[in-house]
Chains A and B, each alone.
Chain A
């Protein structure tokens, strides 16, 4: 027997991550509440920095990376030390990790409202912040593996397997999806274009759910549930089996976000098949969690922590059953682009992630402060507020999703759309949006109650910053127990092998799914009439990204009669070849815009001007915010040449040297649009003295109008009306 060694667990770092969890939980959910009510009353879109399009990403980033992220780190730092019977590898790294992560959150909170965004969902942060995330993630990894290497417990408990898989996969996802070409410090273009960008993005997006919201939480469940219930996990074998199956299968499922899109059929089908298979390992985890409580249900009745765990794990089971169902093409056809998806993710986020975090915090604070929970009753009240909050959130959103999804598809007996005006399918939803807001408010009020309860608990005790512990040192020579020594040794002596094999397992899916789409040319049939954007349209497109228009408007017409009737011809992959990044969107709070500039959807420049200035003036009952600053602010053209050059590097066929004449073309097109607006009696926005703030032809407004009018033109008979760039004019003269 080795000598018993004395050491201390670092509780301070766990406490710090917990404070951050609670603070950012409140911030993130409050922003969520605000955007929920913005859909009821557009007047809540305060200033250009507080529109739905700009702060919806703030909400998603805050709850995913700040609230859930900090909670993961708190749970991992607490459980890892105890499962391995050692202090974290390095206090310095722990602190760099903590402060670095908070700095990233701060950077996100500043840049997103400023409209500095890549537009790619859950990866909106610009390139310098992406680099910061990478560095901090590596610090976390070194700290985690350092701890594993100096452990005093031979067995690597299954929770740690989940942590390792999380670390490896998030690293791969983040790096691959963040390939972008910087133009300035705050602007970059995605390395990928169109369909390929969409595939990479949703491979990332789906697996962010898998490896940030699922695998670390399963790890936490496998540690905290046995501790809370004081009984071992139901089946350890099942935990191993579902671990490997889960990480193997999850990585394939991303394309189910792109069903009926112009992604090649084989990739869509692959996504569907693996999504269906995913039920098995997901439910393996859920059942293992619930069955751990077998024979302890009497405790569940009394202990609010276990109540949170049971509802949380059940929510996981529901969301992971619903997910595969939503990936069936016929269900997806109705649910996609509607509030159904919002309901689906919130069952997972509020139920599974939120409730597990709350249970964990109620467990940790009394333990680390050497005291009892201030009020068990208050925690029970929190549980009921949270549960009611989820119900009041989810039910109206399912209702809305189904209502709108069906309304889009209804035809009259004589074969016309029953609701040809998209807006009529939106105004229908507003009462339920209000109920959803109440659900969110209930849920958030529970979080405030928890914060109060935890602060009171902490005040009644004292933080045991360095918790004394002792354990025998690890024997240098491995002594196998039983008959199966070789494999144990293999897994347990080499944690790096866990890392390696997790990496191999997730790379198999990644490579098979992504590589053919990139290499096989037939995957993206080119369309000769599709031309690069003009400089003004490119600037307009960047404004569309800045304002986050893609948060409410899709640019992807699915091949259904109900869609082609409403929007025009369905979208082809060849139309997106110059789209760095793609802007397909994932939710239609407003109509699709992929054919906005052509056919029956085409409107005059003056209509767009009036609509952007005050959407309700052209569309009664619209819930879109006003974008009046677009007519007041001058278009920044200092980076136009740089943008053209960046696009050239990415393979967009602007001729060499075009960056030098691009501005002249930009102004020519802007003048044309301004002149047309003048003819319609629009002179520009004036200040109180009646002086025009910015001449129309210099405003951001003309750029965004130019972009909106371009949408759909390339593949329509109107293609000839496209503004001709100087090199195109020369070619046509020849």
Chain B
């Protein structure tokens, strides 16, 4: 399937490989960040909607 369209358009292989690499690098970067991220940050963020939203009339 891939060969078929790589032949049709010159440079399509470049587009394909580049786009996939961009996605891969980006995905790995986000994953690494998430693995390294401070637990405290995640816990605090997670609770943002549940923290009292500041309303004082009820």
Q: Is the Cβ of A157 less than 8 Å from the Cβ of B48?
A: yes
Interface residues of A in 219-251 (CB under 8 A from B): 222-223, 226-227, 230-233, 236-237, 240-241, 244-245, 248-249
Interface residues on B, range: 35 or more
Question: In the complex, which of the residues B4, B12, B48 contacts A153, with contact meaning CB atoms closer than 8 Å?
Answer: B48
Cβ proximity bits B40-58 to A, threshold 8 Å, 1 near / 0 not: 1110111111100111111
Instruction: Output the least CB separation between A632 and chain B (Å).
Output: 50
Whether a CB of chain B sits under 8 angstroms from the CB of A711 is no
Whether a CB of chain B sits under 8 angstroms from the CB of A159 is yes
Identify the closest chain A residue to B58 (Cβ). Answer: A370
A264 to B5 Cα, complex, angstroms:
8
Question: In the complex, which of the residues A153, A241, A520, A523 contacts B31, with contact meaning CB atoms closer than 8 Å?
Answer: A241
Q: Is the Cβ of A265 less than 8 Å from the Cβ of B5?
A: yes
* Chain A residues, Cβ within 8 Å of B4: 265-266, 269
Number of A-B contacts (CB under 8 A): 122
Question: In the complex, which of the residues A9, A79, A232, A470 contacts B47, with contact meaning CB atoms closer than 8 Å?
Answer: A232
A464 to B57 Cα, complex, angstroms:
10
Best-surrounded residue of B38, B42, B45, B47 (most CB of chain A within 10 A): B45
Identify the closest chain A residue to B57 (Cβ). Answer: A468
Identify the closest chain B residue to A233 (Cβ). Answer: B46
Stretch at the interface among A194-202, A386-394, A478-486, A557-565: A478-486
A232 to B57 Cα, complex, angstroms:
24
Cβ proximity bits B5-42 to A, threshold 8 Å, 1 near / 0 not: 11011111001101100110011001101101111111
Interface residues on A, range: 35 or more
Q: Is the Cβ of B9 less than 8 Å from the Cβ of A266?
A: yes
A236 to B53 Cα, complex, angstroms:
19
Instruction: Output the least CB separation between A530 and chain B (Å).
Output: 21
Stretch at the interface among A508-516, A595-603, A647-655: A508-516
A687 to B11 Cα, complex, angstroms:
64
* Chain A residues, Cβ within 8 Å of B50: 226-227, 230-232
Q: Is the Cβ of A237 less than 8 Å from the Cβ of B53?
A: no
* Chain A residues, Cβ within 8 Å of B23: 248-249
Instruction: Output the least CB separation between B23 and chain A (Å).
Output: 6
Identify the closest chain A residue to B48 (Cβ). Answer: A157
Question: In the complex, which of the residues B9, B22, B27, B48 contacts A83, with contact meaning CB atoms closer than 8 Å?
Answer: B48
Identify the closest chain B residue to A481 (Cβ). Answer: B40
Whether a CB of chain B sits under 8 angstroms from the CB of A522 is yes
A226 to B8 Cα, complex, angstroms:
50
Q: Is the Cβ of B33 less than 8 Å from the Cβ of A487?
A: yes
* Chain A residues, Cβ within 8 Å of B39: 482
Whether a CB of chain B sits under 8 angstroms from the CB of A171 is no
* Chain B residues, Cβ within 8 Å of A79: 49
Q: Is the Cβ of A516 less than 8 Å from the Cβ of B54?
A: no
| Interface CB pairs A-B, < 8 A, 11 | A155-B45, A157-B45, A157-B48, A227-B49, A232-B46, A264-B9, A467-B55, A481-B38, A488-B41, A512-B18, A516-B9
Q: Which residues of A contact B (CB under 8 A)?
A: 6, 9, 79, 82-83, 85, 152-153, 155, 157-159, 222-223, 226-227, 230-233, 236-237, 240-241, 244-245, 248-249, 252, 264-270, 370, 464, 467-471, 481-484, 487-488, 505, 508-509, 512, 516, 520, 522-523
Q: Which residues of B contact A (CB under 8 A)?
A: 1-2, 4-6, 8-12, 15-16, 18-19, 22-23, 26-27, 30-31, 33-34, 36-42, 44-50, 53-58
Give 8 new A-B contacts, CB below 8 A, not counting A85-B54, A158-B45, A516-B15.
A232-B50, A245-B27, A264-B9, A270-B5, A484-B38, A520-B9, A522-B8, A522-B9
